[in-house]
Structure 1
Amino acid sequence: MSAQPAMRKHLSAAIWPALAAAALFGASTPLVKLLVGELSPLLLAGLLYLGSGLGLAVIRLLRDRGWKPSGLTPGEWHWLAGAVVFGGVLGPALLVFGLTRTAAGPASLLLNFEAVFTAVLAWVVFRENADRRIVLGMLLIVAGGVALAWHTSENQPQDWIGLLAIAAACMCWGIDNNLTRHVSGSDALFIAGAKGWTAGTVNTSLGLFLGASLPALQTASAAMLIGLAGYGLSLVLFVHALRGLGTARTGAYFSTAPFIGAAVAILLLGEPAPAPFWIAAGLMGLGVWLHLTERHEHLHTHEPMEHAHPHVHDAHHQHAHDFDWDGRESHSHWHRHEALTHKHPHFPDIHHRHVH
């Protein structure tokens, strides 16, 4: 296979983990809504992440047939710690609190702001490339969120405190996504599992300390199973997508999650879907489409670098092995990239974080 078709196949393959992550997370939001009221927000957030951490730890132990080191370098641990605080502790607590004051359908659509915050931070703080098409897509997503937030009905007025709490959760996850980008080349199961254990322990402990009571086993199990799928496996897939798409683009694909959540809320919870709801959905959908149809290609230079991550021997990985390799793809080991200048379609993945 020639270089450019191989690159296009690589980019296409990177999209599917992002969409699968969005589906799992989007479907979890209305399911979490079913548990709101039975548990305090902090305790519910804690159980969601404890389920994620416990389930992913079991999966990782089975995969590796025992415990293996994380593979994180000393300079990566602070990025993971920041991601845990913002994405694992603050984000879920704010979301669950917001869900106690607003309906699951509007809340699910409002979660599109995570993509906006993710992209703005990636562009402004971390200098990730963005063209006019990407910016226009984000503006449409914002317009949809504004249309949704301004809508009120006589039967179900929107609570601004709840909406602001969900927006704050999106900001926390935007920070989390940009911090996770710096460790996305490492073991995704470890990254997501570490976040689950830490965030789950902190939120559960705080919830109990503030007077919450332990729920019935059936309720706790339901919360933990939802957490494993919607927060654990979803994050594993999101980390995989970060490697191939970069932060802002992964966030854009992930912004399909609220549409899935809204559909589940309408079908499962019987929530209404008035005209402004669909106007907001249309604006957000058009913004996402602009991201999905982006094409970015130019002559660029790769500087020499060394790192370890799962890879196949494509145009960016033409290296020898100093160990016995069984020929299986993909595989992970420490390897060196020599200087390379070429042109092909690409996103700002772990190999394309160059200046434009």
Structure 2
Amino acid sequence: MTQELDDSYDVVVVGGGAAGLNGALMLARSRRSVVVVDAGEPRNAPAEGVHGLLARDGVPPGELLARGREEVRGYGGHVVTGEVTAARRDGDRFTVALADGREVRARRLLVTTGLVDELPEIPGLRDRWGKDVLHCPYCHGWEVRDRAIGVLLTGPVSVHQALMFRQLSDDVVLFAHTSPRPAGEEAEQLAARGIRVVPGEVASLEVADDRLVGVRLGDGAVFAREALAVGPRVVARADFLADLGLKAVEHPKGIGEHVPAEPTGLTEVPGVWVAGNVTDPSAQVGASAAAGALAGAHINGDLVMEETRRAVDALRDPFSARSEAAVAELVAGDRRHGL
């Protein structure tokens, strides 16, 4: 596996998860020069398997990504390990800077850097994250069906989360923790579904034989639980986009930050697309991969139209400086692909 970067690409993909790799796959299959720069910190790394993904249900996250990298390289795409620290506009292109000092230029950017989960500071919780401390009923719910499930009240979607896990088990408890107890319609919904609300701050998790066995409150009371659902605040990995005037904003659902974009992934900054959890925090692996493919297709289409405009200019005035530059770039692109 090479870690060498060319000086310039049609597209630099920042982030090598499902969204980034599928976007790169679409671009490479369209004979675009593309590189995926990945820091190697996938959000789902703690999980044993990826679920809800047709024909690949249960595949370990690392195996899925390894296969994706192989497929991208099979079509001539590059995948390198590195952390992108900055991106700036450089004329009609972008310059992307890596932490190790390398730089690479691109005509377009696809950002698929995902999110960081800000977990509550409860002893034992982080160690169980992705095992029996969960957040998504579709990703991990089947694996904890019919067990004693706790839900930690952390934000505006926690009651909905409790109702979703109630579909999987008759024994669901909502721990109010440091939040006010639900009231009004939410309290009525919980009562109607038989979900008990336990007041009091959660002090720690009880673990035995490498599995969750209980939730301990500050007063010492322990509630036997085999799984705990937590809805963490999420923060988009997007600081490196600041020089482009693009930054993460609060998500409408109040769950954290994301980078807003059009349905195709195009952001407010021309030439920059996003896909996956960095823009859609609730997207599972399949949805993220599909969003990456959609963004990749639209990036290719955008490049086709740019090249067509330049080719038309060259046809109309083959001796203009602009046309000469356009022809040179088209020739260079053909050479990159061995034409």
Shorter-chain TM-score: which interval?
Answer: under 0.3
| CA radius of gyration, larger in | 2
For normalisation by structure 2, the TM-score amounts to 0.25
The structure with the largest strand share of the pair is 2
> Higher relative contact order by CA 8 Å / sep ≥ 6: 1 or 2?
1
